[in-house]
Amino acid sequence: MQPAAVQISGRLPVVSEYGKGTVTIMNQEPVTSLKGIGEKTAALFRKIGVETVEDLIHNYPRAYDAYEEPVPVGKLTEGGIFAVSGQLVKAASVKRFNHMQLILAAMKDLTGILQLAWYNLPYLAATLQPGKILVFRGRVARKNGRLVMEQPEVFAREAYEAVMGSMQPVYGQTKGLGNKVITKAVAQALDQGEMVREYLPEALREKYQLAEYNYAIRHIHFPENRTELLFARKRLVFDEFFFFVLSVRRLKEQHQDAASPYVMKEMPQVAELVSRLPYRLTGAQKKVLSEVQKDLGSGLVMNRLIQGDVGSGKTIVAVLALVQTALNGCQGALMVPTEVLARQHYESITRLAEDYGLDVRTVLVTGSMTAKEKRLAYEQIADHQADIIVGTHALIQEKIRYDRLALVITDEQHRFGVGQRQALGEKGCGAHVLVMSATPIPRTLAIILYGDLDISVIDEMPADRLPVKNCVVPTSYRDKAYQFIEKEVQAGRQAYVICPMVEASELIQAENVLDYTKVLRQRLPEEISVEYLHGKMKPKEKNRIMERFAAGEIQVLVSTTVVEVGVNVPNATVMMIENAERFGLAQLHQLRGRVGRGRHQSYCIMVNAAGQEAQERLDILNRSNDGFYIASEDLKLRGPGDFFGLRQSGDLEFKLADIFTDAGILKQVSQEVDRLLQEDPDFGAQEHRLLGKRLLEYLGKSSGTLNL
């Protein structure tokens, strides 16, 4: 069925004929059901998380390209993306070096000449006839003092005019699966797809001026203009929040005042351990620990969130709670989002138990362990030879039987969905639940988003901590930065260098881990060991590198953001971030949190390759080390509704919604959910039926697989 064209005359369609279809079931056909998509392409789609037509439709663009009017060559500035229109001045020259083929050309208009360069696009040379008038669109860089447009798209003039003014979706891509293929597949899916029946009550849509569902889905992919895009997005953000808040409220009902069979005593060994730690707990840590201990002894199931900025010392509070659990004859589990982090927590808990002579046995469970290793770990868990279990989400996915699972902790909660958290909670009947997060969410929002949890805040940094010293520098500063790293390494310290990419890409101009490592090895003295780490490496390999870095065998670690979450190597004092302009502020703050974790003065060097454009934003980080302040300043700078920039939080399980910029919608949703649950908690009213159905679908999708 071809969707009816929507007439937009003045007002955008809040309610329309568009969504009167009768179908509520989503299209679960594999993407191969689309024309032109075979097994090979399907495998590539799988890499970006798309298996079914339904997934494809919900794989929203990351950004939009606005094809703007061509600019005179004289007006071009470095770093920006522009279109220019003009005549090719001479035949293109083709060069080869390092397995790469380079095509060089130049174009001119009345205001000047612009160099053009393409890598590995041999078929282009034939198109580039001298004298031809063409439109080129791409990013402008400066090479040897001259402006060069790199890898521009080439259009005949009429072709460019046809797309001018429109917004083209830009999707997350993978090698071999480019934007064009994805865009075409989405268009096909939308055209052949059947309508989903609108499930939000009409009155609600009228009240908040929310687009009709099918309209919103279509226009999030293919908006004609910014107004349409914002309109579509608002509806989908509303939905994301709506079902999230609904499921949080349901969780709350389930746990409220539930009795727990695990009533734990405060053990003297825990107090003794606290007194023997190499540092004194901060007042905030003590306060939070006592809140946790009170919950554990209360006879009711604990559901608590510990919020604390990076480096505030959340781990030790969690570990003390786990130790107390173990000493009470129960099991405790710690679930973390990455294998690197799991291993690190496992090792530090094991070491702690050894150092302080605690009779507590810890096991590790991760996806990359061999079948035999897993079997052994499972046996130890089932026989209660293990008291503390540390792992990734393998803890819920794998067939693990616990003996007396009384406490479940998830670290860096923002990486797990509500469903996963619930699934782990359900593994232990009546188990206490503690979640830890570094996302600096204002209290009013936290109460909505974590409505099912009591909240404890660690709002104090360890006293011996020197604040990280920051600088934002242009790329020309690199030499100095390397000298600085060398000096720190010679003083016994270590450094991280972060690059946004794993390997060189034709399309994206940004530093990559593999090439950067080679460069650094050359630039730094031979005795300094430089290694790299990225998400595409095998887990075993990653672990080995991380362990060697933690042990001080590697001095400089060149890495993607895989080190972003939770990694703790207190001896590392330098965090150098290449292409800092490409990261969100929250992410930069997390990255910076990897240093300044020990006694030594630490430094964060943010290399800004985009110039003035990014400076103001990065200056916020330069000024402050406080996550809350950074989040609020970022919001001011961007203004609500401005989501074209980098996402601030990129967390929880929202695809589109941003808890900061969309805070207003979140609050509306919260009120509406309250009203709905009061008036019609069973979704019995005619206008709520479909909503109820949709909620069940949502819950089905968001909860992890259970093996009880």
Neighbouring CB atoms inside 10 A of 551's CB total 10
Burial (CB count <10 Å: 0-12, 13-18, 19+), residue 708: exposed
Binding of Mg ion at residue 627 (CB under 5 A)?
A: no
**Smaller CB distance to ligand ADP: residue 281 or 659?**
281
Which of 8, 164, 204, 316 forms a contact with ligand ADP (CB under 6 A)?
316
Binding of Mg ion at residue 596 (CB under 5 A)?
A: no
User: Would you say 586 and 561 are in contact if contact means Cβ atoms under 8 Å apart?
Assistant: no
**Smaller CB distance to Mg ion: residue 364 or 665?**
364
**Smaller CB distance to Mg ion: residue 417 or 566?**
566
- Residue 336 Cβ vs Mg ion, minimum distance, rounded to whole Å: 8
- Residue 285 Cβ vs ligand ADP, minimum distance, rounded to whole Å: 6
Residue 13 interacting entry, from ligand ADP, Mg ion, none, C-beta within 5 to 8 Å by type: none
Binding of Mg ion at residue 566 (CB under 5 A)?
A: yes
Taking the C-alpha atoms of residue 451 and residue 455, their distance in angstroms, rounded to an integer, is 9
Binding of ligand ADP at residue 464 (CB under 6 A)?
A: yes
The closest alpha carbon to 598, from 564, 575, 572, belongs to 572
Residue 39 interacting entry, from Mg ion, ligand ADP, none, C-beta within 5 to 8 Å by type: none
Distances (CA, A) of 423 to 251, 436, 474, 706: 11, 16, 47, 6
User: Would you say 575 and 603 are in contact if contact means Cβ atoms under 8 Å apart?
Assistant: yes
The closest alpha carbon to 417, from 114, 22, 700, belongs to 700
- Residue 174 Cβ vs Mg ion, minimum distance, rounded to whole Å: 30
Burial (CB count <10 Å: 0-12, 13-18, 19+), residue 78: middle
Find how far residue 164's CA is from the centre of its chain: 32
Neighbouring CB atoms inside 10 A of 372's CB total 8
- What are the beta bridge partners of residue 607? 473
DSSP category for residue 195: P
- Over the Cα atoms of the chain, what is R_g? 27
Taking the C-alpha atoms of residue 29 and residue 53, their distance in angstroms, rounded to an integer, is 6
- What are the beta bridge partners of residue 276? none
Region of 22-30, 72-80, 291-299, 559-567 interacting with Mg ion (CB under 5 A): 559-567
The closest alpha carbon to 116, from 156, 75, 158, 87, belongs to 87
Residue 455 interacting entry, from Mg ion, ligand ADP, none, C-beta within 5 to 8 Å by type: none
- Residue 462 Cβ vs ligand ADP, minimum distance, rounded to whole Å: 3
Alpha helices, DSSP H only, in 22-150? 39-47, 53-57
**Smaller CB distance to ligand ADP: residue 34 or 575?**
575
Residue 310 interacting entry, from ligand ADP, Mg ion, none, C-beta within 5 to 8 Å by type: ligand ADP
User: Would you say 213 and 235 are in contact if contact means Cβ atoms under 8 Å apart?
Assistant: yes
Residue 570 interacting entry, from Mg ion, ligand ADP, none, C-beta within 5 to 8 Å by type: ligand ADP
Residue 308 interacting entry, from Mg ion, ligand ADP, none, C-beta within 5 to 8 Å by type: ligand ADP
Burial (CB count <10 Å: 0-12, 13-18, 19+), residue 278: exposed
**Smaller CB distance to Mg ion: residue 415 or 694?**
415
User: Would you say 524 and 497 are in contact if contact means Cβ atoms under 8 Å apart?
Assistant: no
User: Would you say 199 and 24 are in contact if contact means Cβ atoms under 8 Å apart?
Assistant: yes
Residue 640 interacting entry, from Mg ion, ligand ADP, none, C-beta within 5 to 8 Å by type: none
User: Would you say 579 and 510 are in contact if contact means Cβ atoms under 8 Å apart?
Assistant: yes
User: Would you say 534 and 560 are in contact if contact means Cβ atoms under 8 Å apart?
Assistant: yes
Which of 279, 290, 487, 707 forms a contact with ligand ADP (CB under 6 A)?
279
**Smaller CB distance to ligand ADP: residue 247 or 315?**
315
For residues 48, 51, 56, 57, the Cα torsion angle rounded to the nearest 10 degrees is: -140
Residue identified by tokens 């052949």 is 192
**Smaller CB distance to Mg ion: residue 566 or 704?**
566
419-458 positions binding ligand ADP, by CB under 6 A: 438
Binding of ligand ADP at residue 462 (CB under 6 A)?
A: yes
Which of 282, 325, 366, 555 forms a contact with ligand ADP (CB under 6 A)?
282
**Smaller CB distance to ligand ADP: residue 285 or 559?**
285
User: Which residue type, as a one-letter code, is found at position 440?
Assistant: P
Which of 61, 138, 169, 311 forms a contact with ligand ADP (CB under 6 A)?
311
594-653 positions binding ligand ADP, by CB under 6 A: 597
Region of 111-119, 193-201, 274-282, 676-684 interacting with ligand ADP (CB under 6 A): 274-282
**Smaller CB distance to Mg ion: residue 134 or 438?**
438
Taking the C-alpha atoms of residue 107 and residue 100, their distance in angstroms, rounded to an integer, is 23
Which of 53, 117, 229, 281 forms a contact with ligand ADP (CB under 6 A)?
281
**Smaller CB distance to ligand ADP: residue 184 or 286?**
286
x/- track of binding to ligand ADP for residues 558-597 (CB under 6 A): --------x-x-x----------------------x---x
The closest alpha carbon to 360, from 410, 400, 320, belongs to 320
Binding of Mg ion at residue 19 (CB under 5 A)?
A: no
- Residue 310 Cβ vs ligand ADP, minimum distance, rounded to whole Å: 4
Region of 52-60, 314-322, 532-540, 683-691 interacting with ligand ADP (CB under 6 A): 314-322
Which of 3, 169, 308, 332 forms a contact with ligand ADP (CB under 6 A)?
308
Instruction: Count interface residues toward Mg ion (CB under 5 A).
Output: 1
Taking the C-alpha atoms of residue 195 and residue 2, their distance in angstroms, rounded to an integer, is 9
Binding of ligand ADP at residue 493 (CB under 6 A)?
A: no
Taking the C-alpha atoms of residue 255 and residue 16, their distance in angstroms, rounded to an integer, is 40
Q: Catalog residues that contact Mg ion under the rule CB under 5 A.
A: 566
Q: Catalog residues that contact ligand ADP under the rule CB under 6 A.
A: 279-282, 285, 308, 310-316, 438, 462, 464, 566, 568, 570, 593, 597
